[in-house]
Structure 1
Amino acid sequence: MTSVPRVLVLAGRGRYEDPWHDMAATSHRVAEVLSAPTLDGTDDLGSPAYQVSVRGAFPDALDDLDPAGDGVDLVVVNTSSGRPDPGFDGDDARWAGFHERLRVWADAGRPVLGLHQAANTFADSAHWERVLGGRWVDGTSMHPDIGEAEFTLSGAEHDLAAVLRDATSGTVTAFDERYSYLSVAESSTVLLTQRHDGIDHPVVWVSGAPGVRCVYDALGHDARSYDSPSRQALLRAEVAWLLAGT
């Protein structure tokens, strides 16, 4: 990894966009948060500022993604459920190479961060749910109306939990949606929850897929989420931890 880690934010469009999420706006805010240095040139965790690029989700968007190469250090997936009808943006075969390149990257242990609708994207991939460590389930998963929300660090004994505790003091607040009743793999380690209907629902976890280094973060419905200092700290902490293992 270079002295200034390079982050690729994959922004939903076409097959992987929807009418409810402005993927361009949230991807831009992610890039702003991760690339902004502090006065001494480091972020609040003491890591260098990140070199961030944003790229639309086209079938060839990952053609240069090489786990053994020197182009990217972290892939951030900020895409949505989209429209799978072939006449809209190509059939499954047209996108097969895209999904295979992302699978190869993840299975090589290269870091992946999935944001918000990443739990409800890439339904045509045979590997994405395994890599992410969970998924949105149509007809079961839901969220209350968007609003001021609180997310709480769980007691999980995981090295990322300590990083999150230092960065957020154990609580994240943001104007956001509170994803509920997601399907989370037993092998995943839940680090942040929100309470709805008397139940603590996982919203941030580390995937337990063998050989995979992936974090899922359900926050980030729209750009307002990233106005919160604690939400920004959460994002930077996740990225710092993912890159620390490379």
Structure 2
Amino acid sequence: MTRSARVLVLSGRGRYEDPWHDMAATSHRVADVLRGTVDAVGEVVVRGSFPDALDDVDAFDLLVVNCASGRSDPGFDGDDATWVPFHEALRRWADAGQPVLALHQAANTFADSPHWERVLGGRWVDGASMHPPIDEATFEVVDAAHPAVAGAQDGDRARIVAFDERYSFLRVSQDVRVLVTQRHDGVDHPVVWVRDGGAARLVYDALGHDVRSYDSPSRRALLASEVGWLLAG
């Protein structure tokens, strides 16, 4: 990419917000990290998840999804039919191979979309998925050959250390490439993966519960590497 990229950060509100995540704060922190660390990034726009939020998505080079589970009642913020164009715009964008970075609670958003789990390559499953209490956590890079994790170093090790949640027991598709895991109850759980087969170009990154995650240099480096790879395609 020869020009500076325009990035749209979609920040959960209303239908796609929850009481556990300050998505406005994390969305703006992500924007600050991208402006400060990724040379290819120019303008970063943070926008709430309104039904028309993706009407001009083709004017951007990268879509970042930072949305959550939200209200389940179908009449909140408009009925389900009101949101069909929004979800169709996201499906078209992803299926055309346009880059998507999905963060943390994005594994538990857009339950009303027939497309999102396929696009994402995974899902938070109520009653099965969980996380231990938030703490200083270690996330191991298990596929260091992929450029999306090229900068993810803590000292001399290919790992990320951050104050964050460790998502566990997500439902993960067989067609993703797992790059980072965390260990819980003797099991290695995928927390960062990519889809780059066919038209797809997506990174799911389960880190980023709150702004404290982005205080970590290795976590910021991971985010920068992910975005660099997505924009290089």
TM class by smaller structure: over 0.9
Query: Where in structure 2 are there 5+ consecutive unaligned residues?
Result: none
Task: Figure out how many residues of one structure are paired with residues of the other and give that number.
Answer: 232
Q: Which residue of 1 aligns with 2:54?
A: 62
* 1:178 aligns with one of 166, 170, 173: 166
Task: Give me the whole-angstrom Cα distance separating, in 2, the residues matched to 1:192 and 1:88.
Answer: 36
Rate the CA distance shift 1:209–1:81 in 2: closer, same or farther, 3 A: farther
Q: Distance in 2 between matches of 1:153 and 1:25?
A: 27
Aligned amino acid, residue 123 of structure 2: R
1:214 aligns with 2:202: yes
Cα distance in 2 for partners of 1:110, 1:138 equals 29
User: Contact between 1:167 and 1:237, CA under 8 Å: does it hold in 2?
Assistant: no
Query: Which residue is equivalent to 2:229?
Result: 241
SS of the counterpart of 1:10? strand
- Bigger shift: 203-212 or 144-153? 203-212
Name the counterpart of 1:40: none
Q: When the two structures are superposed, what TM-score results if normalisation uses the length of structure 2?
A: 0.94
Give the direction of change, closer, same or farther, for the CA distance of 1:159–1:231 in structure 2 (3 Å limit): closer
Quote the offset at 1:211 in angstroms.
1.2
TM-score (norm 1): 0.89
In the aligned structure 1, how far is the partner of 2:99 from the partner of 2:40? 17
Amino acid across the alignment from 1:61: A
CA deviations over 1:25-52 (Å, ceiling 9, x no partner): 0001001100125xxxxx4xxx334321
Instruction: Tell me how far 1:159 sits from its aligned partner.
Output: 4.3
Q: CA RMSD in A?
A: 1.8
Query: Whole-Å Cα distance in 2 between the matches of residues 157 and 127 of structure 1?
Result: 29
What SS class does the counterpart of residue 99 from structure 1 fall into? Answer: helix
Aligned pairs (5 A) from 1:16-31: 16-31=16-31
Unaligned runs of 5+ in 1: 38-42
Question: Identity percentage over the alignment?
Answer: 68
Offset at 1:156? 6.5
Conservation of the 8 A alpha-carbon contact between 1:156 and 1:190: no
Tell me, what secondary structure is at the counterpart of 1:88?
coil
